Amino acid sequence: MARHTLPDFIERVDPQPASARPTALSLVLSLRPSQWTKNFIIFFPLMLAQRLLDVQALLHAIAAFVIFCALSGVVYLINDIVDRDADRLHPLKKNRPIASGALRVPVAIGWAVALATVALTAAFWLRPLFGGIAASYVLLLALYSAQLKHIVILDVLTIAIGFVLRAAAGAVAVDVPISHWLYVLTILLALFLALSKRRHELVLLADGATSHRRILEEYSPYLLDQMIAVVTASTIVAYAFYTVSPETVQRLGTDRLILTLPFPLYGIFRYLYLVHLKEGGGNPSDMLLTDIPLLLCVSLWTVAVAIIIYGPTFSTFQLGG
């Protein structure tokens, strides 16, 4: 069955050539709202710290999510400006608004500056430390677009650290301690996704891979498969240890989190299946939104964790009422 993404949908409802689209639509596409699902990691510290029912903390987490969505858009604008020449050589990315000429570079730069100014101002207003992490995120990803993406291994590590900064920002926004387990699991899972994306690019573009992204000449499918295998095993083992660690059991008041282990196992194996047999992995956010089994797995994991963590709270509340 064919897989459809948000850009595919827009192409169907708006059959105009990329260069003929209105500037406003081109700007929205360049901000890549379909990629903002990555920022949902901001809510994990809120949920795992048992603050999901705290209205003020929830509002702070929502504000943090919105701010990082705006900053993600800024990062994508910067990336598309820097990569516009290389994107024109890519079979899919050549249709991006900046690469196709639908969105002029000066306009993109202006919007990037405006969005960054507003979002970072809001971030520092929310919490100074949160603002510092948000600014570090933009700086790190800007350096990635400019140089770090061309350095082997550092390219995928930078992407992974970007996810760690999101998670740390979520913890700071709601004023909860930043667990070392959150760091470990976030960086491992992000590495898994980043390496899978590199493999997809290498296989999809074949002989033309290095002309689009120079760093791909430093990788091979075999090397990436070895790296993915290491990260996959590490992620599963780390999650298992997290669920049964004395720190987790004491903080959450339950040792039943281990019962959720089948969900990450299935999710990771499903993702590997899509990468190796269905030529997926190029866009993790789209895969999460379009692959029903994967979407169900993540949703059921979230529900299971919420029930295990908040079940006693709801029971106490009902008995008290």
One digit per residue, the tens of pLDDT, for the chain of length 321 reads: 444 443 443 343 344 445 556 788 989 989 999 889 889 999 999 988 888 889 999 999 999 999 999 999 999 999 999 888 877 877 777 888 888 888 899 999 999 999 999 999 999 999 999 999 999 999 999 999 888 988 999 999 999 999 999 999 999 999 998 888 888 999 999 999 999 988 888 887 665 555 566 788 888 889 999 999 999 999 999 999 999 999 889 888 889 999 999 999 999 999 999 988 877 766 777 788 889 999 999 999 999 999 999 876 544 444 444
pLDDT at 71: 96
Q: Considering all CA atoms of the chain, what is the largest pairwise distance in Å, rounded to the nearest integer?
A: 67
The DSSP call for residue 91 is T
CA quadruple 30, 66, 111, 76: dihedral, nearest 10: -40
Alpha-carbon distance of 297 to 288, in angstroms, equals 10
Q: What is the CATH number of domain 21-178?
A: 1.10.357.140
DSSP state of 152: T
Choose among 134, 207, 216, 191: nearest CA to 167. 134
- Cα separation, 281 vs 71, in Å, equals 24
What's the chain's length in residues? 321
Do 234 and 188 meet the contact criterion of CB atoms below 8 Å apart? yes
Q: CA angle, 168 as apex, 184 and 199 as ends, to 5°?
A: 50
The answer to whether residues 98 and 84 touch, using CB atoms and an 8 Å cutoff, is yes
Name the nearest CA neighbour of 302 among 46, 63, 58, 60. 46
Q: What is the pTM of this model?
A: 0.84
